[in-house]
Structure 1
């Protein structure tokens, strides 16, 4: 199928809008009032699709060379569906050939706090425990690339005291630990499903889909790799990256509030209509938002017309 050609683009609807047409054939189209084009000209109807509901986000990294990797992405769920989750800082450290890594876990002000720790290590096993101020953190999930490396994610809500984070393994490995702090996170169900993938050797982009994430959530994306450079896409903000002993690289980035219209890095890329709906009188579109065409870090949502 040949690539479609752009016939006309409207970037500004501030001069006015036409009226909606509901003829059963062109849902979501409207007839121009003549202010922005030829009177009666049919064009896509302007509408706002901001917060509310859920969508699917694609987050990931590109790598500078062939590498084994483990990648994971999770959505931090908002405490209030009308208020966006926010970041409040990050810290991290690394150590070579050891069973324990200890680093500072500072706490900043804010409501509904959540601490997330990503652990990157050589070998095929996750830590036996991760604590903050002696309090056990809950394992969100882990993924390994054979026996080469492992990525695991841990969380703790309601953190109020700045204290050390201690990561413990059963045997000596090279370790990178990274802590990310968030506010506005649901305290009972702070994190959704753990989505992960791995490969033993690839130069392709490492990507992961996070399903049914709320528009004002934050997507946390982590990758464990070997000694290569890993780069998140535009709009997926890098928080930390570090390599230990030239054997294990860890990186963490955040995809903030992917479905909110106020996100300056994300605009509508294209729409496609679902031809068969459960309710023929209530058509809808799927809207895909992203930074650039063809890049990682996009958000797809369903729009009721």
Structure 2
């Protein structure tokens, strides 16, 4: 069968979507997988017969058409699809990538830039956005976890969230708790989520992202640095700088591996360069 191949159908996409829901994948993950499998079907065209040789050819096409990280992401979706089809033995290995020791300086949001963003949001009358950014940056939450910030939960001093079947508590500083409750009172929000739209629905990731991006010109900050997840990274760096507690930080962020947490606390190349320049103990005067 590996040489002759089997024919698949586009109708199996719907079944694959049901399969992902049954596995309790997150909604965003499901949509990403479906988009990636559509890419696979576009590659196949009218000939829907697949075998391992054709899958490897697709892998090479991805390598030439996408950045390696994007190609690996698409291959992850393909392997899930193959597993669903009962073709797990045909899974394709992802490209090996050497992990960078440094943060991308072009995308790192500094503490000073964060304060600029807050100041700009407030000057534009966007107090809700400013409070939203401050909440993420002071707790390290994922943007999707903002919905858990209800009036009732904030009054209890901590927030309970679940992500991928795992529960954890998010603790609040006295300052951010006070700001959240004061905002809720001013907006006459007596129960439920604090961050809501005019229609009373919880603020979505896309809404917050667009509002943050709109600040870039007045704040004078590179737009590539302005996105909600960068606030989570900022929290991680500042927390680790203050405590040097990597394990505790991993618990706060809800990471399953400290290797992921280490990425969040990495320095930039410039910071490493400064540290190297300060290591003068090997410098000696050479007589010529």
Shorter-chain TM-score category? under 0.3
TM-score normalised to the size of structure 2?
Answer: 0.21
Tell me which of the two structures has the higher relative contact order, counting C-alpha pairs closer than 8 angstroms and 6 or more residues apart.
1
TM-score normalised to the size of structure 1?
Answer: 0.20
Greater strand share, structure number: 1
Greater helix share, structure number: 2
